[in-house]
Structure 1
């Protein structure tokens, strides 16, 4: 790698998001809060900057924003690659891996067996355990503990179920090419019995991966719990490529029953926009939640990339960041339920001491309107806009007068739009330059956006987090302008504030 390439790569290194120091990463794995620390494990190639040599990388954080990278936690070897999975704190030592003084953390991961191994050609579920709080790991001698003889059985998320059916561990995994979530139960994490399956349903335009299952109170009411099943798929997202969907319903300890399924079996391509998506952007994939988060918060993080171009984004030797951690809640809306998401970390300590930029009640006309004093490459922008006669209105971020990323509203179409065709470097892959959209409804005639801008990304939370879009961008370091714009008419900016971050 040349010095110029290294400089470019570091230009894009995020300030608010986690990225490995000098290697490849993808799916988040083994998310857990343990002994006051958030642990983020992830798919990692410790030997390069493209996918391969799959192992579990490891980072920790006290606050979900400041991350410390640690040595590889669970390494591939001559027999297996270490694919995605989860970690549980085995408080009662049901597995027997603990000692008299230390209950174990147990990782449940997919062994992707290599040619020449005893299980060549299959994916099966295996265990590793840690007695030092998650920093060093020992593989179980009797791996794998669960096999279906399948080449596409992967991504186990294990939870503790305590309910009417009893108390035991539940594994939620996938048969990826069958578009099916499969559920198992165990009392010791070693011996597993089948429970049920779910799917195909709703989006099936690509393999199903990285499922999760968790309860959430509706509108914050602990007496009204629903269960949420998330499953990621690649490709087949609402704006092409990788994405994640979710279902809301009931879990009785054996079977998950969805109350929000629109299409049984293989999807109807004309109904893609009706499904419930974790994120409508191009770069939010493999989202899963943390175990044992404080105060029963449901915290999720995703890989901020897309398999269409993941290996080619211009950030070598590090490649791919994670999204911001999000707190998700469940609200009743229009006779159904919707996940609502907010950035989870406290950004206040990271704010610059210089005054934030703000304005109130400004009418903008057709054209682009530079905001002097609002420029920045790492910032949070809060905007409330009431459409007038404009066909489209919104913001341009990371601009330079000629280029920038447009984030706007098309009121007559009921859409929010991210246009990154002129966002900076886009020619590294033919599908990167894009206009991506999501359906959005007004609130009292207005639209409210919270936008997190980082050195290589934008994350948009619209209408209080009812709709989110996450997109990578690769602008020049000098492209930092913020502008308002309107197309074909006028709009009212009710309020706008910009907070800069170090």
Structure 2
């Protein structure tokens, strides 16, 4: 989405249909590594001045529009327009954060980034394809983006990585010189998906398309209106909760909206002009812009997030999201209207509450229930009886200091029925207010959400600047009830770059643990531990570990919370694998251990028996009775090391080939979301098992994650300078090759993110390759270069995964 000052000026002046010159987004090169996502951020504790404690902001850099909001596999996914390299709008990426509950957010590595993903990665929408109508895989997450046309990227591993559909081809191209910001929703009436895209063809408007499969779209109609400018949203709501009375709601970036009907082809509004959703400044860079609602919320609620930048920015970030609000349609004296109220999950942030009832607060302030209260981040709910109020004005001073000044004063005018000039009528002489006060953000709601005002305030969080005052002038105000909820921080519950299935929160003991693009990195002078909240007795626990400068790195299990008791299995740069506990080295095994390479550790614990595997080969089998149960985690000793993919009782690598598996170039790990051997390399990279064969049948499942090719390798020598390799290639090929010669190819569509099953049958010089269980080979060739050798896997120029590897 175009975010220039010229837009801000034009929209602020109410000229939504002004002609805007097309300005080019700064170019950016692809990330240096073939694998993505990048995670370049410096560390933060999220406690910087003005950093919202319960409003999402990027760990570092610029953010604007929320994108692709969707519930998927137990997590809410927030994607957002993001410049991770600076504090201004430039080189748009799709940032990514997840939450289990809509309030505790954890920023994840990048979802979409320039160079890796084509087109300009501006605003868009996300959909979970639960029924696999696209053929990209049941549960695939599709995101729609690009400008001057709509392209699709998709993920089959829970939004960890995204592949480009059809190389980023634009599936629709709306009329006009500019188009952007697609939104995709399911229409139960027609049984089809509907897409709305803003464009300037013939003036501002939204083009409507429908599709049965999310990939093939048919133009249906166009809604044109001068006020309708970029970032549309389109959703269906019952009126007053009645499922028999539903309306479609069409909104644009500034929050103006109309309600109407949609017959599967055409949207027909009930009003000639729109209503305004929020009283914040609704231009690009204002306090309320580019709102979007989540798809797939389990209980059917329609929940909205909005870009809330305003004038507040921090030293390390710019912009934040509003607090999530549930949207409803209700009957009001003015007709059907949209309401916004904070989601019920805000209760998860409350750390303490106080309630007062039936108070009268005169002009001298006596009886003020908030007298003596101090808070930094909080929520106020208050109801006032205007029939028993004699004050001309009343309101709140927020973040008040002893000298009587405050960072923000909200004043309600009883005669005018306005809050700081915004119309807010009472209902049956009762006025209800709800305030969310964060360090740089203020959100105000009234009359059960009929009134909404999203704002930013540079609140001073110093200890002597946290007072709250309810005041009245020219008389007294009657308080029916007032509640103060103190709100704690929403940060620090999840892991940004450490992947796995262990429950948090994680606790550092004796080391500093930091997020890096490769995983969690520990730095300790002696022994340091990182412990999850997962407790286990008998189990299989595995993960990838890498020495940087440390003497040892390890998996820890059956640990106490302070790590004074534990078992630890480590790889030690002295050339050993060691199983130990405090006071005893239980067992050791010699191994070639060195820094800069991933090693895979797996522990099988059954009662006192503990077995340790290194790179998929058993190396230790011992017994010890000291500890029967405890926490799972990781350990680093004397230096820096990295851990990743910590998995409890997962499938790991499924293979009949003997270990150890030895990497020959590239980085090889075992991911949690897409188990198997994951390879990452700029060029050709191999991982070779200890199994050697001459004649053989060798098969497995191969997935190109992001890159060019993934393959089965056979008859290889130890350094892979000699080998045969049968691969799937994203260019649309199955290929059999050896160094210096492409032996044979077979043309067939190959999609990134989808597993393909290859089977190789080698009998003497005859080499056959079978695809996806086919009875006939797609390649049947002869070659006499190599008669025997090791079995393994290969990736080329990017990343791929091999799983379910079997041989006979």
Q: Which residue of the partner structure matches residue 346 of structure 2?
A: 347
Alignment CA distance shift 1:303-1:345 (3 Å) = farther
Aligned residues of 2:398 and 2:406 also touching (Cα < 8 A): no
The question of 1:469 aligning with 2:473 is answered no
| Shift, 1:349, TM fit | 3.4
Give 1:101-120 correspondences, 5 Å limit. 102-111=138-147
Give 1:192-231 correspondences, 5 Å limit. 192-200=217-225, 204=227, 208-231=229-252
Q: Which residue of the partner structure matches residue 420 of structure 1?
A: none
Aligned residues of 2:174 and 2:199 also touching (Cα < 8 A): no
Name which of 63, 66, 69 aligns with 2:101: 63
Alignment CA distance shift 1:176-1:474 (3 Å) = farther
**Separation (CA, whole Å) in 2 of partners of 1:499 and 1:35:** 31
Q: Which residue of the partner structure matches residue 598 of structure 2?
A: none
Q: CA RMSD in A?
A: 2.3
Q: Which residue of the partner structure matches residue 255 of structure 2?
A: 244
| Shift, 1:77, TM fit | 2.9
Aligned residues of 2:382 and 2:433 also touching (Cα < 8 A): yes
**Separation (CA, whole Å) in 1 of partners of 2:52 and 2:46:** 12
The question of 1:51 aligning with 2:93 is answered no
**Separation (CA, whole Å) in 1 of partners of 2:350 and 2:130:** 39
Q: Which residue of the partner structure matches residue 259 of structure 1?
A: 270
**Separation (CA, whole Å) in 1 of partners of 2:143 and 2:319:** 23
Give 1:301-312 correspondences, 5 Å limit. 301-306=305-310, 309=311
Aligned residues of 2:153 and 2:168 also touching (Cα < 8 A): no
Aligned residues of 1:367 and 1:487 also touching (Cα < 8 A): no
Normalised by the length of structure 1, the TM-score is 0.81
| Shift, 1:335, TM fit | 5.8
**Separation (CA, whole Å) in 2 of partners of 1:172 and 1:464:** 30
Aligned residues of 1:357 and 1:373 also touching (Cα < 8 A): no
**Separation (CA, whole Å) in 2 of partners of 1:7 and 1:142:** 37
The question of 1:168 aligning with 2:204 is answered no
| Shift, 1:356, TM fit | 2.2
Bigger relative CO (Cα 8 Å, ≥ 6 apart): 1
| Shift, 1:28, TM fit | 0.4
**Separation (CA, whole Å) in 1 of partners of 2:369 and 2:459:** 17
Q: Which residue of the partner structure matches residue 118 of structure 1?
A: none
Give 1:88-487 correspondences, 5 Å limit. 88-98=127-137, 102-111=138-147, 123-140=148-165, 141-148=167-174, 150-163=176-189, 166-175=190-199, 178-200=203-225, 204=227, 208-232=229-253, 243-262=254-273, 275-282=274-281, 283-306=287-310, 309=311, 313-334=312-333, 336-353=335-352, 356=354, 358=356, 360-365=358-363, 371-387=370-386, 388-400=389-401, 401-417=404-420, 437-478=421-462, 479-487=465-473
Q: 1:322-346 CA deviation, whole Å, 9 max, x = no partner?
A: 1111111111122621112211142
Alignment CA distance shift 1:477-1:444 (3 Å) = same
**Separation (CA, whole Å) in 2 of partners of 1:13 and 1:69:** 15
Q: Which residue of the partner structure matches residue 430 of structure 1?
A: none
Q: Which residue of the partner structure matches residue 508 of structure 2?
A: none
| Shift, 1:142, TM fit | 4.7
**Separation (CA, whole Å) in 2 of partners of 1:155 and 1:9:** 33
Name which of 99, 102, 111 aligns with 1:73: 111
| Shift, 1:42, TM fit | 0.5
**Separation (CA, whole Å) in 2 of partners of 1:188 and 1:199:** 26
**Separation (CA, whole Å) in 2 of partners of 1:304 and 1:107:** 23
Q: Which residue of the partner structure matches residue 267 of structure 1?
A: none
Q: Which residue of the partner structure matches residue 26 of structure 1?
A: 64
**Separation (CA, whole Å) in 2 of partners of 1:12 and 1:56:** 24
Three-state SS of the structure 1 residue aligned to 2:460 is: coil
**Separation (CA, whole Å) in 1 of partners of 2:344 and 2:80:** 19
Q: 1:60-106 CA deviation, whole Å, 9 max, x = no partner?
A: 000101001101101123963200011111223332322xxx44211
Runs of 5+ in structure 2 lacking a partner?
A: 1-43, 282-286, 489-808
Aligned residues of 1:357 and 1:374 also touching (Cα < 8 A): no
| Shift, 1:176, TM fit | 5.1
Alignment CA distance shift 1:42-1:413 (3 Å) = same
Runs of 5+ in structure 1 lacking a partner?
A: 1-5, 112-122, 233-242, 263-274, 418-436
Normalised by the length of structure 2, the TM-score is 0.51
**Separation (CA, whole Å) in 2 of partners of 1:214 and 1:80:** 27
Aligned residues of 2:184 and 2:193 also touching (Cα < 8 A): yes
Alignment CA distance shift 1:179-1:487 (3 Å) = farther
**Separation (CA, whole Å) in 1 of partners of 2:213 and 2:68:** 18
Aligned residues of 1:394 and 1:409 also touching (Cα < 8 A): yes
Aligned residues of 1:374 and 1:498 also touching (Cα < 8 A): no
**Separation (CA, whole Å) in 2 of partners of 1:499 and 1:360:** 18
Aligned residues of 1:370 and 1:481 also touching (Cα < 8 A): no
**Separation (CA, whole Å) in 1 of partners of 2:200 and 2:229:** 5
Q: Which residue of the partner structure matches residue 492 of structure 1?
A: 478
Three-state SS of the structure 2 residue aligned to 1:349 is: helix
Q: 1:406-437 CA deviation, whole Å, 9 max, x = no partner?
A: 223212222122xxxxxxxxxxxxxxxxxxx4
**Separation (CA, whole Å) in 1 of partners of 2:89 and 2:154:** 25
The answer to which of 189-198 and 476-485 deviates more is 189-198
The number of equivalent residue pairs is: 430
| Shift, 1:187, TM fit | 2.5
Aligned residues of 1:11 and 1:455 also touching (Cα < 8 A): yes
Larger radius of gyration: 2
Q: 1:303-335 CA deviation, whole Å, 9 max, x = no partner?
A: 1124xx5xxx33131111111111111111226
**Separation (CA, whole Å) in 2 of partners of 1:176 and 1:359:** 54
**Separation (CA, whole Å) in 2 of partners of 1:82 and 1:9:** 30
